[in-house]
Amino acid sequence: MRYLRSREDREDVLIEAFFKVFDNLDKFRGDGSFEGWIRRIVVNEALMFLRKQHNFNMTLEITDFDQPVRMKVVDHLAAQDILSLMEELPTGYRTVFNLYVIEGYKHREIAELLDISINTSKSQLILARKRMRELLKKNSIANPPNQKSV
């Protein structure tokens, strides 16, 4: 859900991923968790789908930038709020945000997975965070009603 907007695309990727899981059960070595092995297959399927549909190299690269001030809004957001906001992000932003923030990949790994430069990965993350902040303000999630603003 975090990588693809369309329900139909999500279903297609999930079906393909589970087909690969069942087809390759004999290749699971047991080195890590079974859940982690399946998650990796599903994420890779989603990324392959996105690479086929979108050209991640047609993005703006930012090489010189200021680090934004971190907002401490996460404590007030429910998982569904975050998913809803992420659905509003452009594909490139959403994909890099997912891989870096949620999945824990490094920019070097993201660049290799998506066949983009490390700077493109970094700039997509910066722009994704900026857009998330804008969406938080727009949706008034940044100032929950039960908190006083200073």
Residues 124/92, Cβ–Cβ less than 8 Å: yes
Q: Give the model's pLDDT for residue 74.
A: 52
In the chain, where are the structural domains located? Answer: 1-53, 59-150
Domains 1-53 and 59-150 share a fold: no
Fill in the DSSP letter of residue 69.
P
What stretches of the chain show up as alpha helix (H) in DSSP? 7-23, 34-53, 79-87, 91-97, 107-114, 118-138
Does 15 have pLDDT greater than 80?
yes
The CATH number that domain 1-53 falls under is 1.10.1740.10
User: Once rounded to an integer, what is the mean pLDDT over residues 33-60?
Assistant: 79
Cα–Cα distance for residue pair 61/123, rounded to 1 Å: 6
Q: Could you tell me the end-to-end alpha-carbon distance of the chain, in angstroms, rounded to an integer?
A: 35
For residues 85 and 79, the answer to whether their CB atoms sit within 8 Å is no
CATH class (in words) of the domain with range 59-150:
mainly alpha
Residue 1 has pLDDT above 90, yes or no: no
Question: Tokens standing for 68?
Answer: 């934004």
Calpha distance 25→107 (Å, rounded): 30
